Structure 1
């Protein structure tokens, strides 16, 4: 099975929209099995571009997943000598089995379900826009694999391990600051600035439980003030606009990073523009920090901190740790749900790794209350103090 790697799509401005449109159009032009673009507004390839661009407007990650899944499906159609515009439910059932068994290794049920959802979304878009050329969605007749919604496959972190990560990030900042001051070369200064950036990003992700896409898409202009709090505005999954208060621990990391970045740029912090977290090239130009690079850095940091699961961690592990820590601290489920932006409390429950802890069993509280009720009549029988 071929694994496609797609460039991260930008978001946030009209220029980003133009860039995303060009990238998606180039991808659609190279898709196999589809008829050539006849130049009409409603050709299959142009409708495919519109379909993926609509997904991009809601979530860059969803758009990339759709692109990957549709590419895999159309490549399978080539091997099967199947015209995807004539596909039937029986064909999509075979595609499902092929994904479940795989040519090299079996795909997880959640992966297969997502692939079917992506292909189904594409077919639905064609059905309503091709004026009969595609008359039905063949995925509609396919039984989806069961996905366990009560558990998550993301590697978990204990709160102690999160503290180790934060301490290691502090240590890296101190070490690189010391090296730069001892020998102030441009390379050492760049490494010091990167350490400040990583520490600020780690604190923001761990303290607020944000998705990594929500963090990397932020602009400096998203930092604001509201009701006496310094805040961060962001767009969560689904396109909803949110605003969260920034705790002092997060602000310290952000302020240190932005101050050093402004100093390097020769301006004040208020004059900084662009993305909140950036890479600085050899030419001094700022570029987008992308998730794969963050994953590599996080795993290296975890390895240095002595965390056993370092090689399998992802930024999503920090989001899980946020939910678990919040619930373990007694924060009501609905407050954690609101903070994480979940529409369904069951989703929040999946993130709480300690929800099955025996120490949190309601039987403990009920048992204590029952014991106090039994003790009350005995106290009355005994009368008042002697």
Structure 2
């Protein structure tokens, strides 16, 4: 595996940005590469981004990444808060760093883990949005079908199957198949686990129109035949929203479609356990967050207050 990391938009060895790290035992980039090899898929990609983010902070403050203390990590945490990073993002980055430094301790590079006792921000259990309403989802599906066959496939697989954008981008035509009369797509979930997903008839029709007999390669491809990446999907959804859901044009995200899949499935009467399986959640508490969030606005006491005061003007 390439031991380079993306730091501040450039592909450079982490050690090159860290004064004094070149003589470490081993160098930072080699230790990071070894640590990342112990993870797979989305977890490895996320940890790589998080390590690179901290490496950039260390470089700006002329701190050796293998000589940081808890005070450095507390300062890093405070800087993220000031920059407006979400509590969940800060917590995830600290978790990645704790794992990295725990690995360094196990390998005998460090005597202790400086991130072990760093306070992490509390992350609430409630999900703040429900993605899309039923009406918004219908509008988006119709607009996607009118836009192009590829756009129809992207929106339908994200919204109807609840795929993560990374799962969609990694899927290949060879992952399509049949099982017990169902058309299925086998996707690679977090941790490398493979899962068969049922494709509903509307999405099957969209896939057949888009693939037009193609039987290999990326399931969703660019004009050059390469797989679409998450950034291209994000841009596609924003362009689509500008035309059909302008109030979401500056904030629609691929995860909103996955979120909508969960809440709409629950609204339709699906069992919570079945929705958990559909989304590939290892922990049922993650799915229950969607269940709680979908009713938060509907139950707002503001409606009762407005009703009580109606006609008293």
Q: Give the root-mean-square deviation of aligned CA atoms.
A: 2.4
TM-score (norm 2): 0.85
CA contact (8 A) 2:130 2:260 kept: no
Structure 2: how far apart are the matches of 1:64 and 1:344?
21
Deviation at 1:345, TM superposition (A): 2.1
1:230 to 170, 173, 183: 183
2:85: which partner in 1? 107
Max radius of gyration: which structure? 1
Partner SS, residue 244 of structure 1: strand
Q: Match for residue 210 of structure 2? A: 257
Distance 2:223 2:100 in 1: 38
- Gap regions ≥5 residues in structure 1: 1-19, 173-194, 263-268, 360-386
2:3, 2:63 → 1: CA distance? 28
> Do structure 1's residue 136 and structure 2's residue 112 form an aligned pair?
yes
Higher RCO (CA 8 Å, separation ≥ 6 residues): 2
The TM-score with structure 1 as length reference comes to 0.70
SS of the aligned residue for 2:110 comes to: coil
The whole-number CA distance in structure 2 between the counterparts of 1:358 and 1:308 is 20
What CA distance in whole angstroms lies between the structure 1 residues aligned with 2:174 and 2:135?
Answer: 33
Distance 1:27 1:79 in 2: 15
Deviation at 1:331, TM superposition (A): 1.1
CA distance in 2, matches of 1:222, 1:155: 30
Where do 5+ consecutive residues of structure 2 fail to align? 300-313
Matched, 1:347 2:290: no
**Cα displacement (A) at 1:106:** 2.5
Q: Secondary structure at the match of 1:138?
A: coil
CA distance in structure 2 between the aligned counterparts of 1:96 and 1:325, rounded to whole angstroms? 36
CA spacing shift, 1:45–1:162, aligned 2, 3 Å: same
Match of 1:44 in 2: 28
Whole-Å Cα distance in 2 between the matches of residues 91 and 24 of structure 1? 21
Between the aligned partners of 2:190 and 2:110, the Cα distance in structure 1 is 30
**Using the alignment, how far apart are the partners of 2:54 and 2:88 within structure 1?**
16
* Inter-partner Cα distance in structure 2 for 1:43 and 1:222: 40
Q: Number of residue pairs matched?
A: 293
Could you say which residue in structure 2 is the equivalent of 1:118?
A: 96
After superposition, give the CA deviation of every residue in 1:130-181 in whole Å (9 maximum; x if it has no partner): x2x31111000211111112224x6721111111011112222xxxxxxxxx
Q: Deviations over 1:314-341 (max 9, x none)?
A: 1111111111111111111111111111
